[in-house]
Amino acid sequence: MSRLKEWSYYGLLWLVALIFFAPIAWIVMSSFKTRSDILAIPPKFFFTPTLENYRELFNRSEIFQQIGNSIMLSLGAVIIAVIVSFLAAFCFSRFRPKGTDFLMFLLLSIRMLPGPAVILPVFLMYVAFGWKDSHLWLMLFYAMFSIPFSVWILKGFLDGVSTRFDETGRVNGGSWLHIIFKVVMPQVRPGLIAAFIFNLIFVWNEYLFNFIIGGVNTQNIPYALMVGTYADGGVNWTFISTMTSIYIILPVVFIYLFQKYLLVGMTFGTVRGEV
């Protein structure tokens, strides 16, 4: 390719990427505008940036609790889910107990059901047992919802680790615990990372379950965005743009750092490879 052709090709690709990013850039730009600048007609592309929105956001007393909830719920749920799923995936991959295929199918099917259908009976159960608005029970439900994803991803990776490692360990007198955690686990680190990242992003962005089976104490940021939309008789655009700008930092940094795992994560581990 000639140099000019090459540069125009790359220029085109960058343009495509920027077009897709433009709405997000608009959100971030809005977060540095005053309320009247946001609502200005015609829209302002050049303006004096202000940090007032951020100052105002962190003056809301409940914001730290909401961010804390977001972090705690997603981290807690995903850590539980990845550990539990790793054990199950090891079992499915190595021992293939009767009904493995059926169980894997059952696990996946829960991710295929529309949210309200999943949460409806759980809601009734939580109300009946008084589990609503509790961090622990919400976290456990999120963990359950993260398990299918993780089992599928991890089983794919475990199938790729030769059983000779297990056999060698057994012959040398290693216990199963030693083999599982010391011999096999380090080899599926990419799978663990992929499962971790993608479930974290899912719980991070999840709104419905938090709204239905959570409550005032457990509300996370998507919940806050949904209910905090209106203020002073209008839509509170400064709050939405500021909160969103802060909130997307984590997922965007993750997909930059872990681009290798993007494909694995986005396809339940059914497709492997790099982009």
Q: Which of residues 244-273 bind other proteins (CB under 8 A)?
A: 244, 247-248, 251-252, 254-256, 259, 262-263, 266-268, 270-271, 273
Total binding residues toward other proteins, as defined by CB under 8 A: 93
**Footprint of other proteins on 145-174 (CB under 8 A):** 147, 151, 163, 167, 170-171
In Å, how far from its chain's centre is CA 129? 28
Q: Which two tokens stand for residue 13?
A: 């690709």
**Footprint of other proteins on 188-247 (CB under 8 A):** 201, 204-205, 207-208, 212, 221-222, 225-226, 229, 235, 237, 240-241, 243-244, 247
Of positions 35, 52, 63, 123, contacts other proteins by CB under 8 A = 123
Of positions 35, 39, 60, 174, contacts other proteins by CB under 8 A = 39
Residue 46 in the binding site for other proteins (CB under 8 A)? no
Residue 274 in the binding site for other proteins (CB under 8 A)? yes
Of positions 49, 116, 160, 186, contacts other proteins by CB under 8 A = 116
- Torsions phi, psi for 179 (to 5 deg): -65, -45
Maximal C-alpha separation, the chain? 76
Taking the complex as a whole, the smallest distance from the CB of residue 137 to other proteins amounts, in Å, to 9
- Crossing angle of helices 189-205 and 62-94, in 10° steps, is 140
H-assigned helices in the chain: 3-31, 35-38, 52-59, 62-94, 100-111, 115-129, 135-159, 164-171, 176-178, 189-205, 208-213, 221-227, 237-247, 249-257, 262-266
